[in-house]
Amino acid sequence: MMQMRHIVGKYCFWVVIFAFFGCKNQEKSMNNKLFSCAPCSIEAAINTEKNIKTIDKIQLECFLRTIRKDCQNNAEFTEVTNSVIFAVLNTRMDLFLNVFSKSNTIDKDYILKQISSPLLDYNINDIVLKAKETKCDTITKKQVIKALKDIKK
């Protein structure tokens, strides 16, 4: 009987350990869960802005994939995403340029158009300087800087 208790005790111990670490891993994967990458998803913009200091390449690309020309008539979406694009340019220029240069799933022309048409006032000279100082693909950097300089026209 004592041996049976010992076996059951060990079994219960491992079940509790497995359940604990299983829940922790599930919680971690929930935190890393991508938000909707569907076109015109305001959720992606809001989550990007909320987590701007911790987003990774996958999350930023997800956000950028939501920005497409066919969303341009959605005023709320356009306003929110335009603001978030500039927040990303201000705080995560290196990540933005890296994702922008390597992705083939985003509407780059439309995003550049959004960059050249800010809906709010930003210190464009500071953003241009950040772009110039960032090490990345030269072609991408030039495209973004040109879009930023086109604002003044």
Domain ranges of the chain: 1-33, 35-152
In order, the DSSP letters of the chain are: -HHHHHHHHHHHHHHHHHHHHHHHHHHHHHHT-----STT-HHHHHHHHHTTTT--HHHHHHHHHH--GGGTT-HHHHHHHHHHHHHHHHH-HHHHHHHHHH-SSS-HHHHHHHHTS-SS---HHHHHHHHHHS-S-HHHHHHHHHHHHGGG-
How confident is the prediction along the chain (153 residues), in pLDDT tens digits per residue? 556 554 544 554 444 444 444 433 333 333 445 568 999 999 999 999 999 999 999 999 999 999 999 999 999 999 999 999 999 999 999 999 999 999 999 999 999 999 999 999 999 999 999 999 999 888 999 999 999 999 965
